[in-house]
Amino acid sequence: MAKVDGPLMSLEARGKIADAVVFFPWKGRHVVRQWLKPTQKNSTKQGYVRAALYAIGKWVSQIFCVAQADAADSKVYSLNTVAAPAGMNWNAFAAQGFLNLLQSAGTFITGSFTALVAAYSSLATDVLTAFQTNATALGMADFAFDYGYTTNIEAGCQLYFGALACYYNSIQASAPYNTIPDSWAASDVDAFKTDMVAAD
């Protein structure tokens, strides 16, 4: 049943009418859409999508936590805020580079995501260690799903995805952001971690 404020003028409506439409507020707007029966389909493809979104989300949330805790915003937060197009939230922009990269190959489920995980795994040993060590220092943790993409996604891999997002978003024209993370040295990874927690 729909809940309506100011029923004659329909100032605000919330809820569903039959199994046809749903009224709800979204970002300060009153919207309506077709009602869809909620499902929790744990398919292989859903697992891949959720793993990718969760991995990049963990990196974005780390930037947000630092930004909330510190009086001065971190360099990565500031760079993403400045580079975000008008009308786009910084966190959506921060993840956009990574998500666009996944979609660019046209094989998101079967190729791109596993290829990026494989690219991370094939980094030089010292760079791989730097990503993992710095991610752990930031408080990031490994995770795995029990369906879809079930392989453990290391904290370092999540940080690597964040580095890819910064590179493909072109947040800055200087090192390390102007070079693809696949070619970073361990010192570049250390600098990236510092930029995530320290102001410019």
Task: Give per-10-residue mean pLDDT for the chain (200 aa).
Answer: 60 81 80 80 82 92 71 82 90 90 64 86 96 94 90 95 93 90 95 87
> How confident is the model at residue 70, as a pLDDT?
59
Residues 6+ apart with CB under 8 A from 29: none
As a whole number of angstroms, the distance between CA 192 and CA 195 comes to 5
Phi first, then psi: what are they for 171, rounded to 5°? -70, -20
Q: In what order do the strands lie in the sheet with 12-17?
A: 3-5, 12-17, 21-26, 29-34
> How confident is the model at residue 13, as a pLDDT?
77
What count of residues does the chain have? 200
As a whole number of angstroms, the distance between CA 63 and CA 86 comes to 20
> How confident is the model at residue 185, as a pLDDT?
96
> How confident is the model at residue 111, as a pLDDT?
63
Please, are residues 6 and 12 in contact by the beta-carbon 8 Å criterion?
yes
> How confident is the model at residue 10, as a pLDDT?
61
DSSP run (H or E) holding 25: strand 21-26
pTM, entire model = 0.79
